[in-house]
Amino acid sequence: MKPLTLTLLLTFLLFAFTACSTVNTGTATGTGSSFSETKLADKAGGNISPYPFDHCAVIQKPFSEKPVRHRRVYKGQEVLFCCTPCVRAFDANPDPYMPRIVAAAN
């Protein structure tokens, strides 16, 4: 019984420490295209469509903090995230997430 309990505890701790966190490291990895576009859109102050949901664009987790600290602008559409790993996933390949966001924003 003890080995099973120890295995379950270690598995729980592994997931607890690798789960999505809300700590913003201030950097983004991946292609950087949406990060660059976000910086340019913020400087220009152009016409940016607001994010239509109250949950993360990648994992659909409700936002636990207001204001949301993880943000990108991609093709004129604001996109919000719950954590840095979700921003990185979006930066690596943003196109699969956009149709749902754009449809809801219109």
- Report if pTM > 0.75: no
Give the chain's domain count: 1
Structure tokens at 72: 């990108």
Q: Provide mean pLDDT across the span 37-44.
A: 82
Two tokens, residue 78 = 């604001």
Exposure string over 68-98, b if 16+ CB within 10 A, otherwise e: bbbebbbeebbbbbbbbbbbbbbbeebeebb
The reply to whether 3 falls in a domain is: no
Domain around 81:
22-105
Confidence of residue 1 (pLDDT cuts 50, 70, 90): low
Cβ-based neighbours of 31, under 8 Å, separated by 6 or more: 91, 92
Give the per-residue pLDDT at 51. 95
Place of tokens 């979700």: 86
Task: Give domain status of residue 89, yes or no.
Answer: yes
The answer to whether residue 85 sits within a structural domain is: yes
pLDDT band at 6 (very low <50, low <70, confident <90, very high): low
